[in-house]
Structure 1
Amino acid sequence: MNRGWQLGTGLILTALAGYVDALGFVRLGGLYTSFMSGNTTQLSVSLAHGEIRHALMPILLIFGFLAGATLGSGLSMVVPRRWATPVVLAYETLLIMAALALGLPTPELGLASFFMAMAMGAQNAVLAQVKGFRAGTTFVTGALFSLAQKIAEAFTGMGPRLGWLGDAAVWSALLVGAFVGTLAYGRYELYALLLPALVGGSLAVTAALLAARTRIAH
Structure 2
Amino acid sequence: MQANTASATPGTNAAPAFHPWMAPLLALVAAYIDTLGFIALFGLFTAHVTGNFVLIGAAFVHGGSGMTLKFLAFPAFVIGVLMAKWTHGYLSARGSNNIVKILLALEAVLLLAFALAGMIFRPDLGSDHGLTAIITGMTGALAMGLQNGTSRLSLASLVPTTVMTGNVTQIIIDLVDALSGNAVARERIRRFIPAVAGFVVGAVGGALAYVAMGFVAVLPVIAVLLILIRIADQRQ
TM-score (norm. length: structure 2): 0.79
Aligned-partner SS, 2:66: helix
In structure 1, the partner of 2:192 is 167
Alpha-carbon distance between aligned partners in 1 of 2:50 and 2:76, rounded to the nearest angstrom: 14
In structure 1, the partner of 2:100 is 85
Aligned-partner SS, 1:171: helix
C-alpha displacement of 1:201:
2.8
User: What is the 5 A alignment of 1:169-184?
Assistant: 169-184=194-209
1:21 equivalent in alignment to 2:34: yes
- 1:73-96, Cα deviation, whole Å (9 max, x unpaired): 210111134221011111101101
Question: How many correspondences in the alignment?
Answer: 208
**5+ residue gaps, structure 2:** 5-16, 124-131
C-alpha displacement of 1:104:
1.6
Alpha-carbon distance between aligned partners in 1 of 2:57 and 2:72, rounded to the nearest angstrom: 14
1:58 equivalent in alignment to 2:73: no
RMSD after superposition: 2.4
- 1:36-83, Cα deviation, whole Å (9 max, x unpaired): 21111112223x339596321111222221111111121011113422
Alpha-carbon distance between aligned partners in 2 of 1:96 and 1:160, rounded to the nearest angstrom: 37
**5+ residue gaps, structure 1:** none
The one-letter code matched in structure 2 to 1:180 is G
Q: 4+ residue stretches of structure 1 with deviation over 4 A?
A: 50-53
In structure 2, the partner of 1:201 is 226
Q: Answer yes or no: is the 8 Å Cα contact 2:23–2:194 preserved in 1.
A: no
Is the deviation greater in 25-34 or in 86-95?
A: 25-34
Alpha-carbon distance between aligned partners in 2 of 1:37 and 1:153, rounded to the nearest angstrom: 30
Q: Answer yes or no: is the 8 Å Cα contact 2:46–2:144 preserved in 1.
A: yes
Structure 1 206/154 Cα, relative in aligned 2: closer, same or farther at 3 Å? Answer: closer
Q: Answer yes or no: is the 8 Å Cα contact 2:69–2:137 preserved in 1.
A: no
The one-letter code matched in structure 1 to 2:142 is M
C-alpha displacement of 1:132:
4.3
Q: Answer yes or no: is the 8 Å Cα contact 1:7–1:130 preserved in 2.
A: no
Q: What fraction of aligned residue pairs are identical, expressed as a percent?
A: 22
In structure 2, the partner of 1:147 is 171
In structure 1, the partner of 2:147 is 123
Alpha-carbon distance between aligned partners in 1 of 2:210 and 2:178, rounded to the nearest angstrom: 39
- 1:12-39, Cα deviation, whole Å (9 max, x unpaired): 1111111111101111232211122111
Alpha-carbon distance between aligned partners in 2 of 1:87 and 1:51, rounded to the nearest angstrom: 42
- 1:143-162, Cα deviation, whole Å (9 max, x unpaired): 11111111010112344463
Q: Answer yes or no: is the 8 Å Cα contact 2:148–2:162 preserved in 1.
A: no
Q: Answer yes or no: is the 8 Å Cα contact 2:69–2:133 preserved in 1.
A: no
Q: 1:96 aligns with which of 75, 97, 111?
A: 111
Structure 1 161/206 Cα, relative in aligned 2: closer, same or farther at 3 Å? Answer: closer
TM-score (norm. length: structure 1): 0.84
In structure 2, the partner of 1:9 is 22
